Amino acid sequence: MTNPTEKDEVLLSVEDLEVSYGPFKVLMGVSLVVKKGEVVAVVGANGAGKSTLLNTIAGLLPIRRGKIIFEGKEITRAPAYARVHMGIALVPEGRRIFPELNVLENLLLGSYPKHARDDSKENLRRVFDLFPILEKRQKQSAKTLSGGEQQMLAIGRALMSKPKLLLLDEMSLGLAPLVVDSLYAAIEKIRLEGTTILFVEQNVRKSLSHSDRGYLMKGGKIALCGPSRDLLRERSIRQAYFGISEGK
Amino acid sequence: MELGTAFVMGILLGGLYGLVALGLSLIFGVVREMNLAHGDFVVLGSYFAYTIVTACGIDPILSLALGVPVFLVIGYVLQRFLLNYACRISHDTVLLVTFGISVVLQNVFHITWGPLSRNLTTPYTLSGLAFGRFHIPLPYLLDFLAAALFMTALYLFLKHTYLGRAIRAVAQEPTAAQLVGVNVERVHAITFGIATALCAVAGVFLGMTFSFTPSTGPAFLIMAFGVVVLGGLGSIVGTLIAGILFGLVQTLSGHFFGVVTQTLASYVMALVVLSIFPKGLFGK
Amino acid sequence: MKKLDLLVIFSVLLLAVVPLAKVPSLFYTYACLYCFYLAMANMWNLVAGYAGLISLCPAAFVGLGGYTVILGTWFSLPWYLGLVLGGVVAALFAVLVSLPLFRLRGVYFTIGSFVVPEILKGIFLIWRPVGGTVYGRGAGYPIQGDALGQLTIYYLALGLAFLSLALVRRLSESPFGMAMRAIRDNESAAERCGVDTFKVKFEAFCISALVTGWAGGIYYLGQGYIEPLSGFGIQWLIAIMLSVIIGGRGTIGGPILGVGLFLFLYFLLTRYGELSLILQGSLLITIAIVVPQGLVGMVRKIKALLERRIAIYEIAQPKS
């Protein structure tokens, strides 16, 4: 049983975020909260702004208005690389592994931040335990890995920096269901080790089944939020995403 | 010059050309910029060593103890505080700015050291070693040794250190590099510094092999670019081989058509290489 | 735009009748230089400003135009024929060189275009087409026969400058101009829209070679002699680049203003030799970073900004 006060500690707080690509508004006032130890899912259709939200939290996109607060400190203007040193790690959409480097080099780069270097051997062990196939393919060039293996590599790389908050963008995109299941199993294990997770998925049912709380995004705004279990039962979601019609 | 000697000298010289191109390859591959003043930086290396040698009387190779760190800093500062901004405006801007730097450098050379050619000869550069039928002037051997040494050092650095891996990462996926905590701007600046330091090294050895004037720069730029295109970005070995090919073209052209055609031959080769590989060997 | 046209036509007419009055010889020198550089700058602007190709090639065409005309006199070719031929030779050379060059994009093209005049310079430093060295190194030749009078050069230069302006004007506003701009902004997208990018780049390049060749021809007719370091030298490129960048790429007024400023600076500093070039280089760097769109571009932006402010102000005014 976790300490009640620790359970409610807010790790990440996003307030009224507005992000635009040039003249196009993508995020129009998004607020969310992630508490320590939680797994939070952000779901929604294509183009709702989910990836933009994660990229902004990671520091890859400039903010027009709003605030991002991490561990009580405002990081709105912090550059992306600095946020990694603070303990935020993003596994981006498309994985973006380093193609010409081998698996081991990719992982070692994950421990580039100074605070992670001392424990790199330890962390490497943990990543290999989590994804044994990566250990097997250590010396292989990353571009020769399958899609699922590359995703594992990307997650492993992010874990090498000992993140306090792990961000996952469309982890299951383009992967076979069996592979996706193994990834979610890995996420469970990561969660059990105490890492807080915020992830974005198009697969609403799967993501809500594997998270504590969820946010539904529509058109650049938060449309619904609450405990994932409740959201799964929520009529509008079931109609919109599960194709279940209950009368009219 | 005997054909066999020309051949061997071409190979040895090519090692050094590979070194010149290596710096440009780093800039082009990692920082994704083109430095039109690259050749002039090599000549700057020659003049820098020349100043130290004439002032202190030490061996030009020893002057690198000062030259390398100074050029590291020059390159870092130039990238961090000038070219970085130029790059953000547009790629063309970097071309214009580095062209301007080239013009400035060449005329600074002219004012400071005059238009006459200089060189970095020492008592031992005039000697040579005999290998069977070949008599190889010592500078050529030193050129190749220096090239091999620095290329190996660079390879080890890129392969086995965190910073080296970060540089390779930035070359492949700059966004992902940011996401593992790499300060990409700083890496750009460090890479540029390394490239400039390599110019300092090349400058010393080239100065020991040939004489140089304020306007020798562009020839090195053209040749370095040809080597980079032929050798392929990201491959140290490829750059070495391409450098050797260019070296051979030069010395063989000198053997068959006379010394005056040497530079021209490398220009023509560069143009030919560009025509055959319009986007480089690993097209982007 | 219309106002600029009238201004240009008026200026040309004015300059044309100036010789009726007694004007110091220095005026003709300045005016001729301005016209040469303007013609060359306009042509570089055509390729670099409108089509987006940073070409480091102009010296090749200047030298070829000059050599054709001067060597022509050695073969008893009258100067006017030699002059016309000079441009044609330059254009033909451009055709030849386009084959390898236009397979290249971006930086690769730029470096390729840099190699070309260097190769020509190298060739002419070794090869002497006729006779022996008279001036400088390599193929240095004086003109055979009488040099042309200053007045003739003046009118030739004026005519060429006007032609270059008219060309840029006409081309930039035509579908050809739109195609050029499309290529500059995004070449692959332009291709997908059906633009024959090779043809457009090729034509722009060859036209610029033609006029630049003529400019070189007129210049060396006036000079009376030519040598490789001058004909294919990099000073042409610096002057042209600086003028267009200061003035504003891709604008009509840019080169007009830029060449003027450049010449002003040039004559101010000419006694300082290399220092002048250092300053030119530094200026290029500074302008490229601080005012990348050039002075004309900056003026346009300020105008647009002011117009927006005024419009917003007017909208905000309560209706009386």
Q: What pLDDT sits at residue A3?
A: 44
Residue A246's pLDDT is 45
The gap from C-alpha B34 to its chain's centroid, in whole angstroms, comes to 13
A235 band by pLDDT with thresholds 50, 70 and 90:
low
For A6-65, write each residue's pLDDT tens digit. 557 889 999 999 998 888 888 998 999 999 999 999 988 877 788 999 999 999 999 989
Please tell me if residue C215 touches chain B, with a CB cutoff of 8 Å.
no
Q: Give the residue among A2, A71, A67, A68 at the shortest CA–CA distance from A35.
A: A71
* Gap from B174 CA to chain A (nearest CA, Å): 9
Neighbours of A243 (CB within 10 A): 7
**For position C100, what pLDDT does the model report?**
81
**pLDDT score of A4:** 43
At C133, the pLDDT band (50, 70, 90 cuts) reads low
Tens of pLDDT, residues A105-155: 999 999 999 888 888 899 999 999 999 999 999 999 999 999 899 999 999
By the CB < 8 Å criterion, does B117 face chain C?
no
pLDDT at position B281 is 63
Residue A247 pLDDT: 43
Inter-chain residue contact A158 with B184, CB threshold 8 Å: no
Element (H, E) at C302: helix C294-316
Residues 6+ apart with CB under 8 A from C303: none
3 state DSSP class of C303:
helix
Secondary structure (3-state) at A175: coil
Share of chain B above pLDDT 70, in %: 96
Closest in B101, B106, B267 to C115, CB measured = B267
C146: pLDDT strictly greater than 80: no
| % of chain C at pLDDT higher than 70 | 96
Shortest distance, CA B128 to any CA of chain C (angstroms) = 30
pLDDT at B284: 37
Please name the residue of chain B whose CA is at the shortest distance from the CA of residue A115.
Answer: B181
Which pLDDT does position C319 carry in this prediction? Answer: 62
pLDDT value at residue C40: 94
Q: Is A109 on the interface with B (CB under 8 A)?
A: yes
**Which of C108, C118, C126 is nearest residue B222 as measured by Cβ atoms?**
C118
Is C110–B34 a contact, with Cβ atoms under 8 angstroms apart?
yes
Give residues 110 to 129 of C whose Cβ lies within 8 Å of B. 110-112, 114-116, 118-119, 122-123, 125-126
Q: What average pLDDT is seen over chain A?
A: 87
The answer, yes or no, to whether residue A5 has pLDDT greater than 60, is no
A abuts C (3+ Cβ pairs < 8 Å): no
Look-up of token digits 């103890």: B65
**Which pLDDT score is estimated for A145?**
92
The token duo for A155 is 């997650």
Confidence of residue B158 (pLDDT cuts 50, 70, 90): very high
Contact between chains at B111 and C274 (C-beta distance less than 8 A): yes
pLDDT in tens, B204-254: 998 988 899 999 999 999 999 999 989 888 788 889 999 999 999 999 988
Extents of the domains making up chain C: 2-233, 234-320
Average pLDDT of span C6-16:
84
CA–CA gap between residue C25 and residue C110 (Å, rounded): 39
User: Which band of pLDDT confidence, cut at 50, 70 and 90, is reported for residue B280?
Assistant: low
Suggest the residue from C109, C229, C276, C285 to mutate for an interface test with chain B (most B CBs closer than 10 A).
Answer: C285
Question: Taking CB atoms and an 8 Å limit, are B103 and C126 in contact across chains?
Answer: no
Q: Which of B175, B183, B234 sits opposite A96 (nearest CB)?
A: B175
**What's residue A240's pLDDT?**
67
A151 CB-side CA count, 13 A:
21
B271 vs C106, C112, C284: nearest CB: C112
Which string of DSSP letters, residue by residue, matches B147-193? HHHHHHHHHHHHHHSHHHHHHHHHHH-HHHHHHTT--HHHHHHHHHH
Q: What is the pLDDT of residue A2?
A: 44
- Alpha-carbon Rg for chain B, nearest whole angstrom, is 18
User: Looking at the predicted structure, is the pLDDT value of residue C68 above 50?
Assistant: yes
pLDDT of residue A114: 87
Query: Which of these ranges, B22-26, C23-27, C168-172, has the smallest mean pLDDT?
Result: C23-27
pLDDT value at position B84? 93
Across A6-15, C2-11, C274-283, which has the greatest mean pLDDT? C274-283
* CA–CA dist B2, B210 (Å, integer): 19
- The mean pLDDT of A76-94, rounded to a whole number, is 93
Q: Note down the domain range covering B190.
A: 3-276
To 10 degrees, the CA torsion angle through A163, A164, A169, A172? Answer: 80
d(CA B80, CA C130): 52
What pLDDT shows up at residue C251?
85
> Among A60, A109, A160, whose Cβ lies nearest the Cβ of B175?
A60
pLDDT band, residue C125 (cuts 50/70/90) = confident
For the CA atoms of chain A, what is the radius of gyration?
Answer: 18
With CB atoms and an 8 Å threshold, state whether C282 touches B104: yes
**CB spacing of B166 vs A96 below 8 angstroms:** no
Please give the residue that has the higher pLDDT: either B172 or C273.
B172
Task: List the single residue in B93, B219, B225 with the smallest CB-CB distance to C292.
Answer: B93
Domain positions in chain A are 1-77+203-248
| B179 located within any domain | yes
Q: How close B90 comes to chain C (CA, Å)?
A: 9
Residue of chain B minimizing CA distance to C126: B260
Categorize the per-residue pLDDT at C184 as very low, low, confident or very high, splitting at 50, 70 and 90: confident
Please, do chains C and B touch (3+ CB pairs < 8 Å)? yes
* Model pLDDT, residue C282: 93
Q: Which of the pair, C193 or B190, is modelled with greater confidence? A: B190
Mean pLDDT of C14-37: 84
- Work out how many domains chain B is built from and give that number: 1
pLDDT tens for residues C197-218?
788 888 899 999 999 999 999 9
The residue of chain B with its CA nearest to that of C279 is: B104
Q: Give the model's pLDDT for residue B198.
A: 95
Q: Which CATH number applies to A1-77+203-248? A: 3.40.50.300
Return contacts of A116-120, CB within 8 angstroms, 24+ apart: A116/A160, A116/A161, A116/A162, A117/B162, A119/A162, A120/A160
Banded model confidence at residue A248, pLDDT cuts 50, 70, 90? very low
Residue B284 forms part of a structural domain: no
Residue C167, pLDDT above cutoff 60: yes
Tell me which residues of chain C, numbers 247 to 286, contact chain B at a CB-CB cutoff of 8 Å: 274-275, 277-278, 280-285
Residue C230, min C-alpha distance to chain B (Å):
14
Mean pLDDT of B190-203: 95
Nearest-CB residue to B180 (from A60, A100, A109): A109
**pLDDT band at residue C225 using 50, 70 and 90 as cut-offs:** confident
Q: How confident is the model at residue C178 (pLDDT cuts 50, 70, 90)?
A: confident
Q: Which residues in chain A are closer than 8 Å to B181, comparing Cβ atoms? A: 81, 84-85, 112-113, 161
Please answer yes or no on whether B180 and A161 come within 8 Å at the CB atom. yes
Lowest mean pLDDT among A85-89, B165-169, B262-266, C41-45: B262-266
The structure tokens listed for C238 are 């610096």
Out of A85, A97, A105, the one facing B181 most closely (by C-beta) is A85
Q: What is the mean pLDDT of chain B?
A: 89
Q: Which residue of A has its CA nearest to B187?
A: A81
B5's CB contacts (< 8 A; 6+ apart) are: B133, B134, B135, B136
| DSSP helix/strand/coil, C192 | helix
Half-sphere exposure of C265 (CA within 13 A, CB side): 20
Distance from CA of B255 to the nearest CA of C (A): 16
pLDDT at A89: 94
Subunit partners of chain B (3 or more CB pairs within 8 A): A, C
pLDDT at B13 over 80: yes
Q: What is the CATH number of the domain that holds B40?
A: 1.10.3470
**Least CA distance to C114: which residue of chain B?**
B222
- Are B179 and A99 an interchain contact pair (Cβ–Cβ within 8 Å)? no
Residue indicated by tokens 């930035």: B170
